[in-house]
Structure 1
């Protein structure tokens, strides 16, 4: 059964269920808990991984294992679609302590949107595909008669997805023909982008002569050959000019005989570790080396001994890890191997011309020895059984056995070469070593060049660790370090570490690769363009990341040289940091965390291989090493790693571009490493609103400061801060988001060179400005038809929108400035309909875009009358790709007044999302309709309308205007959709005031101030009115007769005035006094002062009314029966004036 995750229910639209927990070879059971944990993590981080539900709707378990040296659990998923795997699209997940600690992938985002060349039904047969493939590589005459019925795999619906054949005339190995979706990349404006999915039969087989391991994709419908690779890694060793210099083969070798010297049992006379070749030192005997590199009891168990394959003891150069033999006739059959009952492999060696035959047993012995040595040393660094190493018997430790290395010495298939065929775990690797023709005084033999042997073995190490042991084809892209990892392993295994010191002088020593094979002295250049050395100034300054794009650096060897140079620099940076070199690379400490110097470097490279995605770029491989350092050593070597890569142009801002399968890269020398921010590197803010960002670091004891420069479109002046906290209110005066960069300095840096300077980008989003942002209505009143909160829709010549995975899709046109429709790609789009305001030429263009393709590549189309995405050729007028700046679109067209037109903005490539700004030469667009929400985070709008009256709207919480209070609603527009602006709708309280007293009395001519409580709401004042005519009055009042009054609260909010109900009436009774009383201020002896128009004569009481002043003139005597004063009434005496009070 196919191992797929099929759709079962819904989780963001999907749930994945594990249909099978078995490897292709069902002897190994996947650890279900770890797989399920990984699967759930993938589902929960779809958006973070920039994927959609469809992209992970068919996860296929490729391999899974626990790494013994780290304890980490590794899960590798292949991307699947419609139950068929997508070729070499792999997700690598690391779990530590049951939790996901790392995830890397190269899945295709939006895979369901890509065009597909055929359906699963109606394909050619796997055998037809095999015939097409063999014919393509010139093997049409091979007898394809099957000697055994194929093993087949089918989907649950019966669709055939894999056949395995055994055809001896074609290959000595099994032949797999498997159904895949092949991502087809096309060169688009200098970029390699996935254009479509082709359903193919992938035919893989090793030819009889083992020269080629063909990996051929045959179109499953047409039978066309779509892609062809050779899985045999041909290293084409020789001098740097070997591609143009002819080779002259020496005459046949003289026979030296196979005289064996009498030495020790279990002894091997070889060019021992760390000698690179015969030119680097003499042979010595290594006795019982089985426990030398991996001590007995701690290593691979029965593998110790080298001549036991788990069931058979051999007396030849064959065992659990390798079978070394000659293949001088290039037939890849069983060749001669030296034999010794006492395992004494000590044979003569002569360095000279025509010595190959006489040196053959010594050559096979050296090849056998170094294959075992490499196996054991790499086993200690983690290339072990579950990881996919090469062993016949895995002794129950996981992984698939039966895959020891077939090592062919003195292969007769060619000269000046070496190769290694690396199939998936469980299938034998084959190493072929050749004779060489570049030396004048001796016959070079690759079997004695331990650097070349290590290089070839390194292909198995890098290929099986990258993408998991079940996939050995992840290093086939243009920008990958396969040859570099192999050169690096050769350097690590053949460097005389014990003779070096942890200083720059040792680091600067130049190292050539293949000097023996090329006939050069040990200090010669070797087979690469530049020697390996830390001395960039004097030795290899030209070797930088930018040279990936230089055709003088060939694919793959020149590219590999760049990568190996970076790794060699990194190794010395780590050595210099630790001030430590371990004399023997195989002397590893018991604890991984105790590794230092050169030992730590090799461990980091090994784990980086495991962590990196399939088809990795240099950037991804670098990041995997940094990730390994964080997981293994807590970031101990981050500065050293960062310095090494940055000095060669692979700095923090280096970019591989869209594809890792081309030569388009951008180098950068910004330092990676040091103390870093653990807080996010990006934040968002809304224009006019205060935001706070607090910088944090995982390193304790550091201090922070920051700077911010002036940014166009932001009104704020520059600013600085001396703490970890930014608290600012930024004002964006434009219609588009503006990125404001804060540069944080962390001291100390942790890398020994000034503070670390790290950017934090704050995206300041524009906000809408409501016409009415605060609306009030009186309690129990009715909101008028045009009343409510309001945002205007206005004509504009600029609109900004966003394309997302929920946007509609159509097939855009293709070409620049075209007026006829030719189908292009299926893409997300947004349409804008308008009526031409006048006749004449108008220009429309995309003025800016921020798209997920990294190139901001758009496509613009113009339609007339109507636009039907299902029929995009109908009514098409004009289309453009790149007539604007960069990759932006622009078109000019003559419009007719009153005619309806539709502009369709789309991306150039499929599955691309992001924002754009469309501008016209006239204001023909309208701003988008405002959207109203009940909260800042609500996903469902309550209304989409320019003027919003929430009364009676479901979900508003305001069924009517009976209950006073203020409710906040939030509004945004399509142009300003990120930030919502708060608006308020208020029902004003109208409770009547409470009078202090309902009645009071005053004397005629007097006044009084009436009192009431209430009217405490904001904007409320107390108002008094006469009951009889509702005329507003002010206090105090002076009625001439008994009068009633009432009070109201008057509340004003903006232009809205609300009156409360009337209070109770207050009656003011006016009492008219008897006798003589004043009617005005004046003299006592003036008749006009008194109501009687007389002068009081003492017969009646006298009353002086409120506010009146009556004066007794000097020398005058007034008479009264008594005097009563009202309110502020008073009597004034002048001089000797007096009043006589009678009875």
Structure 2
């Protein structure tokens, strides 16, 4: 058994903070929404804590304290709204980041004490185009005790402690000093440092008690895919490849896929992504002049054969770039914390294109994606699958690549580009669900919504890698909100959320039809256009570490912002059909919908 580290702060003194904020102890029934157990190393197991978020949506919107000031920016308006709403002194609230979108403006703020920000006490405010507040989420806290704001140990000492505890090395990303709200109601002062292990792929943001040197908590930037073992039968890959000419969308990637606006390449590297094997110099080069990347995959040879390896690098490069271009049209842009090296003066931090390690040697039968904050590259690792002979390459299964890439989308948009806000068990589970739902979205080709199965190629099994197909049929897929009661693992919880979104998608397409141009034109009014707009809008609206309930409410509010609530009843009926109705609570089903629906 692993020994739990005690999450206790030292050198504390009593203070009173944020009378309108949450105070400990937290309801034990909300543990999925506040905790997550992480087996960091063989000798270290942490139960990380994240204050429960409160969340409100306001339909057409309410006024904020600066509504009558024509010169007030949304940054100041958000700070003033939070201070007034939570009765928090203004000097304990500061603006962190935000952006103006086409349907809403969002701002993310932090709680402070004596000038030191809280890592896990944050708030988000959304405004509609009428400058009304339409959504508010908060995990601000009222600590019972709080550590002195002057560290007793140095950053270098904290780094050494973190390296020893986490089995990695400090990656030289600038350290910070932040308070960490704890489950017992205290607040610890921590040095925050990033520790990586290149061999295992581990990448943690460590919170080291600045008085005792104890590692109190971690943010795990890596979102791992976990797959059940299923019977495998050998099958050749005989179809699926096409030669596409200039597939980039220059409205999303104005430099194309092989330039950052300054430097052009003839390899699988560009402004949005680089794919390689072994090191970033191990890219695939054009196979002939004119940026032609034509490699014929031979299913009878090992995936490590030269042509097969290059085919995998080219396919991953194509998929990640394509998702970048699709998401850009729906709002995941530079100012909304996307992944690009050159942001072309349009906001955001830049220097953070996705790095994709193909046929990574660190594992098999898996894949993962690491999402640090805006300004650091997201990192995808694609592994080989050894259930068949020859082995199969996950980089050639598009739904696996899209699933992993979507972890970057959801981790960046939730919480304002921090990479910290899908860390609880429930929120992490929804992260897996969003990834499956996005993979499904990319594979629809008409208005039919058949049952969807994930990852049949790498397993050579028509049943795929999930417990049930995603389906509108309750007999085919019985998962409901109440199913979470018997689940404690993020991928299983994710199946519940993904199946709800499958039902939402089916309802929207049934009502509004299907557009064949939705991947390149976000202006359409078809059901698949609406679904992806609401999918991405809701991520920015929802609070840090959302629950099924708050994520559902964010979808409803996103529809109010963008479509004037035209799809309110469609959404409510779809969610309620799987137990997430108006009165759903504490993983108990409810099928009711608002009056008028």
State if a TM-score over 0.5 links the two structures.
Answer: yes
Residue pair 2:274, 2:283 contacting (<8 A) in 1 also: no
Aligned to 2:565: 635
* Aligned-partner Cα distance in 1 for 2:339–2:197: 20
Q: Which runs of 4+ in 1 moved over 6 A?
A: none
* Aligned-partner Cα distance in 2 for 1:280–1:353: 13
Residue pair 2:121, 2:181 contacting (<8 A) in 1 also: no
For residues 347-380 of structure 1, give each alpha carbon's deviation from its aligned partner in whole angstroms, at most 9, with x where no partner exists.
1111135233240111111011111101001111
- Aligned residue for 1:375, secondary structure, equals helix
Pair 1:562 & 2:492 matched: no
Give the counterpart of 2:340 among 371, 385, 391.
391
Deviation (angstroms), 1:516: 1.0
Aligned to 1:74: 106
Q: Which runs of 5+ in 2 are unaligned?
A: 1-17, 21-70
Deviation (angstroms), 1:210: 6.6
Deviation (angstroms), 1:384: 0.9
Pair 1:36 & 2:26 matched: no
* Aligned-partner Cα distance in 2 for 1:598–1:413: 37
Residue pair 2:456, 2:464 contacting (<8 A) in 1 also: yes
Deviation (angstroms), 1:103: 3.0
Residue pair 1:130, 1:177 contacting (<8 A) in 2 also: no
For residues 699-725 of structure 1, give each alpha carbon's deviation from its aligned partner in whole angstroms, at most 9, with x where no partner exists.
xxxxxxxxxxxxxxxxxxxxxxxxxxx
Pair 1:490 & 2:439 matched: yes
Aligned to 2:393: 445
* Aligned-partner Cα distance in 1 for 2:237–2:581: 38
For residues 473-499 of structure 1, give each alpha carbon's deviation from its aligned partner in whole angstroms, at most 9, with x where no partner exists.
10001111111111111111123x23x
* Aligned-partner Cα distance in 2 for 1:286–1:464: 30
Aligned to 1:53: 88
Deviation (angstroms), 1:232: 1.3
Pair 1:288 & 2:246 matched: yes
Aligned to 2:460: 519
Residue pair 1:351, 1:443 contacting (<8 A) in 2 also: no
Deviation (angstroms), 1:643: 1.2
Aligned to 1:121: 150
* Aligned-partner Cα distance in 1 for 2:105–2:564: 18
Q: RMSD between aligned alpha carbons?
A: 2.6
Give the counterpart of 1:601 among 524, 527, 531.
531
Give the counterpart of 1:375 among 315, 319, 324.
324
- Aligned residue for 1:614, secondary structure, equals coil
Deviation (angstroms), 1:589: 4.7
Residue pair 1:466, 1:613 contacting (<8 A) in 2 also: yes
* Aligned-partner Cα distance in 1 for 2:574–2:471: 12
Richer in helix (by share) = 2
Residue pair 2:145, 2:187 contacting (<8 A) in 1 also: yes
Task: Write the mapping of 1:704-1103 to structure 2, written as runs, cut at 5 A.
Answer: 749=596, 751=597
Count of residue pairs the alignment pairs up:
526
Deviation (angstroms), 1:32: 6.7
Shift in alpha-carbon separation, 1:576–1:216, aligned structure 2, 3 A: same
Pair 1:338 & 2:285 matched: yes
Deviation (angstroms), 1:62: 1.6
Aligned to 1:455: 403
TM-score by length of 1: 0.44
Aligned to 1:83: 115
Task: Write the mapping of 1:649-728 to structure 2, written as runs, cut at 5 A.
Answer: 649-655=579-585, 665-673=586-594
Pair 1:433 & 2:397 matched: no
Residue pair 2:237, 2:299 contacting (<8 A) in 1 also: no
Aligned to 2:552: 622
Shift in alpha-carbon separation, 1:314–1:388, aligned structure 2, 3 A: same
For residues 955-1014 of structure 1, give each alpha carbon's deviation from its aligned partner in whole angstroms, at most 9, with x where no partner exists.
xxxxxxxxxxxxxxxxxxxxxxxxxxxxxxxxxxxxxxxxxxxxxxxxxxxxxxxxxxxx
Shift in alpha-carbon separation, 1:231–1:53, aligned structure 2, 3 A: same
Deviation (angstroms), 1:402: 1.0
Deviation (angstroms), 1:178: 1.9
Aligned to 1:915: none
Aligned to 1:472: 419
Q: Which runs of 5+ in 1 are unaligned?
A: 1-10, 14-30, 140-169, 187-194, 251-276, 656-664, 677-748, 752-1143
* Aligned-partner Cα distance in 1 for 2:521–2:442: 14
Residue pair 1:651, 1:671 contacting (<8 A) in 2 also: yes
Deviation (angstroms), 1:442: 4.2
* Aligned-partner Cα distance in 1 for 2:272–2:424: 29
Give the counterpart of 2:138 among 106, 117, 135.
106
Shift in alpha-carbon separation, 1:333–1:279, aligned structure 2, 3 A: closer
Give the counterpart of 1:220 among 202, 205, 210.
210
Q: Of the two, which has the highest radius of gyration?
A: 1
Pair 1:318 & 2:308 matched: no
Residue pair 1:278, 1:449 contacting (<8 A) in 2 also: no
Residue pair 1:423, 1:472 contacting (<8 A) in 2 also: yes
Residue pair 1:316, 1:337 contacting (<8 A) in 2 also: yes
